[in-house]
Amino acid sequence: MKRMLCFIAILAASSGFAQTAPVTETKAPAYDVVSIKPNDHGRGVSIHINNNIFNAIHISLKELVAQAYGTRWDLISGGPSWIESNGFDIQAKVLDADPHALSKLSNQQRGALLRPMLGERFGLKIHTEVKTLPIYELVVVKGTPKFSEASPADKDKRWNNATAGGMIIHNGTLVAHDVSLSRLIDVVAGQLHREVVDKTGLTGSYDIQLNWTRDDDPSPERSAPYLAQALEEQLGLKLVAAKGPVETLVIDHAELPTED
């Protein structure tokens, strides 16, 4: 089931589970106050994250799991059918936490804030499985990328409206300032629904701009190339089809939460 996610997130960017997660476990505060209400009439999903607050409208449990464990929807299997079809409105808040410390949380740590709630309210039990799946390897074409490392002198300045360490994505346009290539790879993997392995050897922080058309857009009058072509033409990077080990997440048990 394909669902359109509309993320409105303000990001700087422990687990209650004993099961292995597809991301490294990190210690972080949990959401202390949580309200969950069923929402079976909404369309689309809205998520707003800001330091100590997580608000979501019409979000499914599968989408929550993807958020909490930093994995893609297509890498989650198992569980009852309602984990995709049932929507929930969720309001969660961390009480008595240091705002400065919360603002420094990574995306991974921020996702981990949701895990105790998933265990306590949804009875979530999971495990991981490594499968051999189609992947892409990202390589540099002709040895030289078509983008540059961020200048140390410009790290305190905006670059095409992006702040240092930040990324703006809107309608097939990506602008990133002073970021590692892993940030771009995460976006590409999400767009193509396939694991992307970095074979570029590029280890710096870069300024990157990319314009592409979604692969499911059949319009003959599209203004930008599809993603693989855009990567090669605009950034000098190429996606090479391969197969490799991919860690997936399996839902063993989940139950509908009581409304509050």
On whether residue 251 sits in a domain, the answer given is no
The proportion of the chain whose per-residue pLDDT surpasses 70, expressed as a percent, equals 88
Q: Measured over all CA atoms, what is the biggest interatomic distance in the chain, rounded to whole angstroms?
A: 58
User: How many domains is the chain built from?
Assistant: 2
The two structure tokens encoding residue 223: 């203004």
Global pTM value: 0.70
Q: Are residues 36 and 83 in the same domain?
A: yes
Identity of residue 72: R
Which pLDDT band holds residue 6 (cuts at 50, 70, 90)?
very low
- Residues 104, 178, single domain; the answer is no
Strand order in the sheet with 125-140: 76-78, 237-253, 125-140, 196-198
Asked whether residue 96 falls in the same domain as residue 138, the answer is no
Last residue of a domain, one of 123, 156, 185: 123
User: Mean pLDDT, the chain, as a whole number?
Assistant: 85
pLDDT of residue 213: 93
Residue pair 109/164 in contact (Cβ under 8 Å)? The answer is no
Single-letter code of the amino acid located at 141: V
What counts of helices (H) and strands (E) characterise the chain? 7, 13
Q: Does one domain contain both 79 and 187?
A: no
pLDDT, residue 253, reads 98
259 located within any domain: no
In a domain, 39, yes or no: yes
Strands of the 173-179 sheet, one edge to the other:
148-149, 206-211, 173-179, 166-170
Domain boundary among 84, 100, 123: 123
- Tokens at residue 202, please? 């590029």
Same domain, 103 and 138: no
What residues make up the domain containing 79? 5-123
Residue 207, pLDDT score:
95
Let me know if residue 252 belongs to a domain.
no
Average pLDDT (166-190) is 92
CA-based angle 47:256:93, to the nearest 5?
Answer: 40
| pLDDT computed for residue 13 by the predictor | 33
The answer on 64 and 41 residing in a single domain is: yes
In a shared domain, residues 167 and 113? no
Give the C-alpha separation, 20 to 142, whole Å.
Answer: 40
Asked if residue 17 is part of any domain, the answer here is yes
pLDDT greater than 60 at residue 234: yes
Confidence of residue 17 (pLDDT cuts 50, 70, 90): very low
Q: Considering 123, 144, 168, which residue would you say is the last residue of a domain?
A: 123
Judge if 183 and 239 occupy the same domain.
yes
255 within some domain: no
The answer on 181 and 73 residing in a single domain is no
Residue with tokens 């707003």: 48
Question: Could you report the per-residue pLDDT of 72-116, keeping only the tens digit for each?
Answer: 888 999 999 999 999 999 999 988 777 777 777 777 888 889 999
- Tell whether 30 is covered by a domain: yes
In angstroms, rounded to a whole number, what is the distance separating the alpha carbons of residues 224 and 15? Answer: 42
Interaxial angle between packed helices 115-122 and 61-69, expressed in degrees from 0 to 180 and rounded to the nearest 10: 150
Residues 54 and 25 grouped into a single domain: yes
pLDDT in tens, 20-60: 344 444 455 788 889 999 998 877 888 988 878 899 999 99
- Residue 85 and residue 145 in one domain: no
Residue 168 forms part of a structural domain = yes
Do 68 and 117 sit in the same domain of this protein? Answer: yes
User: At 12, is the secondary structure helix, strand, or coil?
Assistant: coil
